[in-house]
Each structure stands twice: as structure tokens, then as C-alpha cells.
């Protein structure tokens, strides 16, 4: 019986010209956004590859110079784009695309793509993810608001129930039919997406399918929540007009109001530090030690004393290596601790804010979905942090090799010492290992859990509303 009702609902939906129009629009938007995003992501990647190649050339051809000067010359590394950014670009336009790696300093990723675009960016991006997050739920609402309230209004509900159809069968059948309608609408789009992914996926794209699976699950749950809620509301209201008003309000709160409201409220209680304070504290940490009682000068003096004692010498000139080089290594190590502490604190705070927004998804499921979606697509802050941390590791390794060269090969006091291309070639090109799938699921966890909770609650509401289905609602 349920299947019969579902089939009838399914056929009805597809016969409705307005639904077909809406569905066609959504499909066209999905397709257009997918194709354009693919083009944009490919262009961005091409530009970064070209820049990486040019930077490598700059690095190798910098000429002979002191190896520590080469550390100051530094190198720019560029953030690779995630293959799934085609689906959801997430925060990509709002994070830096390159980091300058140099001696003594940990720089932040600079050059946000959104800074080099018009203010139109702030209206939001046309991506498949946004279409699924905002437009498809609206389509579901418009499709479902009259499902039961309309039958009640026109008097057919009484007739159906008098035929011996159980309310639960009717409500579940309607929900199932609507769900199938949406699924049939979206399956071709998902198929196209999977095809594009399969073509784009290189050998290094391990875990891509596990990520795509996570996306499919999250979006299915989100849309199912909307189907269940819409039918439940339609079952419980007197007129289809009331059902529509309630559902449109829910949609607007969820899709339009919640993202900005949640982000503003959460940042009020978990503020991001000010740039000036952040920099001052970092500077202070470098000069005075993390606890503020261990000045850099004293540490380096102690270091000199200990080193001389270890080698049984009294003058640094008598050491079997260039002491300046060793001091550079030591001061990088000291500074590294301070950078790790302060950047770690900043990034932890940003991730805490993001997690709080995902958890605010308890009030608006889109917040949870967006968080999960960006995590699976590899375009959330966890992935950006992974890039920043990897770049910093690369910097430390790169500076270490240069300083060790100074230490071992430059005679003390020889200011004309110069290393050359042979050394520059020893330093590898930066390559970002993709964040393991396991970590992507970790980043998505809060969002996925909240969505699962919503799904259970929405299905529960659906059952409950079915149990209370009345021919006439007071």
C-alpha cells in the first residue's frame, strides 16, 4: 500500500509542470556550476603549477651565495587545489594561496582570491554544493507543502482514509514518493559528478571515493530531513497555506539567516585575536621565551657555554665547525617552539569556532551539512591548516639544510663563503601530501553527527505526525 501511494505521489510530481520547470532549473544550475567550477579549479591549478615551476627556476638559478642568505632569499610555495573543490569550493576563496618560506619567520598564507575579485563574491558562489544546500530544499518544500494539507483542504483526505488506508501508510507513502522524486531528479547529476571525478582523479587521489561517499551520505541525509519535515508539517496543519508559510520560514531561517547569525554570535563569544596582539605576543615569545622568563640572549649565551664545554674548547673559533651556523640552527629551534605555540593557539581557536558553528547545526541543519561538506571536499579549515603546517615543516627542513651547510662548510669568519646550485638542488620541491581520509572524516564528524540526529528527529516527527493525522485539524 505504501508503495502504491509513493508511486502515485511520484507520478503526480512529475506531471506537475511547475515542478518540472523548477527541476529543470535546478539541474541546469547544477550542470553549469559544475562545468564552470571545473574550469576554474583547473585554471587555478594550472596557474599554481606554472608559478611553482617558475619559483623552482628562480631558486635554482639564484646564483652562488652564502647558504644563510639563500634562506633569506626564501621560496614561495603554492597551495594545490582539492579535486573535490569542483563540487564545494568552501573557504578556498577566503584563504591564502601561497606562503613565503624564509629564514627566521613563519609567514601566514597570503593572497586571498576573494581580495582579487569584486564584491559580488560576497553574494555567494554558484556551486553544486550551494544548489543542493539551498535550492533543492526549497524545491522540496514547494513540492511537499500541500501533500496532506492540500488533500485535507479539498476533502480528499476524508475519502482516502475512509477507504481503509491507514494514516501511517498514507504519510509514509507520501514521504517515500517525494523522496523518490528528488532522488530521481538528482541521480543523473550525481552520476555526472562521479564521472567527472573518475576522469579527474589521478593516481594520488586516494580516498577520493571515500570522501565522495561521505558527501553523498551527508547530502542524502540533509535532503531526507527536508522531505520528512515538509510532509510532517503538511500533515499537521489545517490549510496548505499555513503549511507553506511555516515551511518557507523554516527554509529561510535555515538557509539565509542561520549561517550569518551563527557565525556572528559564535565569534562574539569565541573571538579571534587581533592581528596586532597576535604579532606582539609572538615577538615577545621569540625574544623572551614562551614563559617570558627565558630571554633569547641568555639562552644563546648558555648554549654557547654548553657547546664549548662539550667540545672542551674555550673559544668558538676553535670549534671544529662554524659556530654561527649552529647558532642559527638553535635559534630556529627556539623560534619554532614559539611559532608552534602561537599559531597552534590561533588555529585551534578558528577550528573551535568552526566546530561551534557545526554544532549550532542543532538549530539549523544547513550549518552541520556545510561543515561536513567542506570537510569531505577538502576545502575547510582543517585542510587549510594541514597545508600551512606542511609548508612550515618544509620551511624548517629547508632552513635546517641551509644552516647545516653553513655550519659544516663555511670556515669561521669567512664572510665570502658561497654555496651554489649543487646545494640548491638538494632541497626538494614542496609537495603537499593529501590529508588522510580518516582525518577528513574526523573534521566532518561534528557535522555528520548533528545531521544524523536531525534525520532521526525528522523521521520521528514524521511518524508522530502520521499517528496524529486528522481529517479536520482544529
Show contacts with another protein in window 376-405 (CB under 8 A): 380-381, 384
Beta bridge partners of residue 76, listed in sequence order: 100
Quick one: 279 or 317, whose CB is closer to another protein? 279
DSSP state of 316: G
| Interface positions, 39-98, toward another protein (CB under 8 A) | 39-40, 43, 47-48, 50-52, 54-55, 57-58, 61-63, 76, 78, 90-91, 93-95, 97-98
SS3 string of 367-415? Answer: HHHHHHHHHHHCCCHHHHHHHHHHHHHHHHHHHHHHHHHHHHHCCCCCC
Residues with Cβ within 8 Å of residue 247, at least 6 apart in sequence: 141, 144, 145, 229, 230, 233, 234
Asked if 130 touches another protein (CB under 8 A), the answer is yes
Beta bridge partners of residue 75, listed in sequence order: 101
Quick one: 209 or 278, whose CB is closer to another protein? 278
Least distance between another protein and beta carbon 7 (Å)? 25
Rule CB under 8 A: choose which of 5, 70, 87, 125 binds another protein: 125
Asked if 283 touches another protein (CB under 8 A), the answer is no
| Interface positions, 218-247, toward another protein (CB under 8 A) | 240-241, 244-245
| Interface positions, 428-447, toward another protein (CB under 8 A) | none
- Interface with another protein by CB under 8 A: which range of 4-12, 107-115, 429-437, 466-474? 107-115
Rule CB under 8 A: choose which of 2, 6, 33, 451 binds another protein: 33
**214, three cell numbers:** 561521505
CA distances from 396 to 336, 348, 352 (A): 8, 21, 27
**175 contacts 462 by C-beta, under 8 angstroms:** yes
CA distances from 434 to 82, 363, 383 (A): 9, 33, 9
Quick one: 76 or 331, whose CB is closer to another protein? 76
Residues with Cβ within 8 Å of residue 228, at least 6 apart in sequence: 175, 455, 458, 459, 461, 462
Quick one: 111 or 441, whose CB is closer to another protein? 111
Asked if 118 touches another protein (CB under 8 A), the answer is yes
* 277/299 Cα distance (integer angstroms): 25
Asked if 290 touches another protein (CB under 8 A), the answer is no
Q: Are strands 98-101 and 75-78 parallel, antiparallel or unpaired?
A: antiparallel
Residues in the chain: 474
Least distance between another protein and beta carbon 272 (Å)? 5
Asked if 473 touches another protein (CB under 8 A), the answer is no
CA angle 413, 401, 45 (to 5 degrees): 135
Asked if 341 touches another protein (CB under 8 A), the answer is no
Asked if 275 touches another protein (CB under 8 A), the answer is yes
* 138/133 Cα distance (integer angstroms): 9
Quick one: 199 or 274, whose CB is closer to another protein? 274
Which positions from 342 to 381 touch another protein by CB under 8 A, shown as an x/- string?
----x---x--xx--x----------------------xx
Asked if 206 touches another protein (CB under 8 A), the answer is no
| Interface positions, 152-191, toward another protein (CB under 8 A) | none
Rule CB under 8 A: choose which of 12, 31, 69, 126 binds another protein: 126
Quick one: 159 or 272, whose CB is closer to another protein? 272
Asked if 303 touches another protein (CB under 8 A), the answer is no
Least distance between another protein and beta carbon 51 (Å)? 4
Asked if 276 touches another protein (CB under 8 A), the answer is yes
Least distance between another protein and beta carbon 275 (Å)? 5
Select from 388, 380, 379 the least CA-distant residue to 344: 388
The footprint of another protein on this chain (CB under 8 A) covers a number of residues equal to: 83
Rule CB under 8 A: choose which of 13, 23, 85, 142 binds another protein: 142
Least distance between another protein and beta carbon 310 (Å)? 37
Asked if 332 touches another protein (CB under 8 A), the answer is no
CA angle 330, 334, 340 (to 5 degrees): 135
Residues with Cβ within 8 Å of residue 185, at least 6 apart in sequence: 23, 26, 27
Q: CB burial class (10 A; 0-12, 13-18, 19+) of residue 463?
A: middle
Asked if 278 touches another protein (CB under 8 A), the answer is yes
**393 contacts 39 by C-beta, under 8 angstroms:** no
Rule CB under 8 A: choose which of 145, 323, 339, 430 binds another protein: 145
Amino acid at each position: 500500500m505504501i508503495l502504491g501511494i509513493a508511486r502515485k505521489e511520484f507520478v503526480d510530481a512529475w506531471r506537475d509542470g511547475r515542478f518540472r520547470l523548477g527541476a529543470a532549473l535546478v539541474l541546469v544550475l547544477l550542470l553549469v556550476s559544475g562545468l564552470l567550477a571545473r574550469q576554474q579549479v583547473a585554471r587555478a591549478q594550472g596557474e599554481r603549477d606554472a608559478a611553482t615551476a617558475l619559483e623552482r627556476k628562480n631558486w635554482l638559478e639564484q646564483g652562488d651565495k652564502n647558504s644563510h642568505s639563500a634562506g633569506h632569499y626564501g621560496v614561495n610555495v603554492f597551495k594545490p587545489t582539492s579535486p573535490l573543490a569542483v563540487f564545494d569550493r568552501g573557504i578556498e576563496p577566503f584563504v591564502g594561496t601561497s606562503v613565503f618560506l624564509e629564514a627566521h619567520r613563519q609567514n601566514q598564507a597570503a593572497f586571498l582570491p576573494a581580495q582579487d575579485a569584486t564584491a559580488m563574491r560576497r553574494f555567494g558562489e554558484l556551486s553544486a554544493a550551494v544548489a543542493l544546500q539551498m535550492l533543492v530544499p526549497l524545491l522540496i518544500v514547494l513540492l511537499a507543502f500541500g501533500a496532506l494539507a492540500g488533500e485535507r483542504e479539498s476533502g480528499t483526505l476524508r475519502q482516502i482514509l475512509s477507504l481503509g488506508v491507514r494514516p501511517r501508510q498514507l504519510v509514509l507513502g507520501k514521504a517515500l514518493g517525494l523522496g523518490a522524486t528528488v532522488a530521481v531528479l538528482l541521480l543523473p547529476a550525481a552520476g555526472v559528478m562521479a564521472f567527472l571525478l573518475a576522469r579527474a582523479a589521478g593516481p594520488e587521489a586516494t580516498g577520493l571515493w571515500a570522501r565522495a561517499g561521505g558527501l553523498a551520505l551527508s547530502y542524502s541525509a540533509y535532503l531526507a530531513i527536508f522531505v520528512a519535515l515538509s510532509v510532517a508539517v503538511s500533515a499537521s496543519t489545517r490549510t496548505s497555506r499555513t503549511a507553506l508559510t511555516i515551511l518557507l520560514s523554516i527554509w529561510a531561517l535555515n538557509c539565509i539567516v542561520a549561517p550569518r547569525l551563527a557565525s556572528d554570535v559564535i565569534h562574539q563569544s569565541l573571538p579571534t585575536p587581533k592581528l596586532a596582539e597576535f604579532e606582539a605576543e609572538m615577538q615577545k615569545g621569540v625574544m623572551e621565551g614562551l614563559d617570558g622568563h627565558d630571554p633569547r640572549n641568555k639562552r644563546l649565551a648558555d648554549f654557547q657555554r654548553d657547546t664549548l664545554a662539550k667540545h672542551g674548547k674555550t673559544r668558538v673559533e676553535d670549534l671544529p665547525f662554524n659556530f654561527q651556523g649552529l647558532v642559527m640552527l638553535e635559534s630556529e629551534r627556539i623560534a619554532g617552539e614559539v611559532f608552534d605555540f602561537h599559531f597552534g593557539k590561533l588555529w585551534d581557536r578558528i577550528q573551535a569556532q568552526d566546530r561551534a558553528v557545526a554544532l549550532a547545526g542543532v538549530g539549523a541543519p544547513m550549518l552541520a551539512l556545510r561543515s561536513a561538506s567542506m570537510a569531505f571536499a577538502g576545502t575547510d579549515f582543517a585542510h587549510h591548516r594541514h597545508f600551512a603546517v606542511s609548508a612550515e615543516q618544509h620551511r624548517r627542513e629547508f632552513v635546517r639544510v641551509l644552516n647545516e651547510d653553513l655550519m659544516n662548510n663555511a670556515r669561521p669568519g669567512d664572510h665570502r663563503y658561497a654555496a651554489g646550485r649543487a646545494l640548491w638542488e638538494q632541497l626538494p620541491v614542496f609537495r603537499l601530501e593529501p590529508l588522510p581520509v580518516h582525518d577528513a572524516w574526523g573534521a566532518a564528524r561534528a557535522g555528520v553527527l548533528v545531521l544524523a540526529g536531525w534525520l532521526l528527529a525528522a523521521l520521528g516527527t514524521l511518524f508522530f505526525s502520521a499517528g496524529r493525522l486528522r481529517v479536520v485539524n482544529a
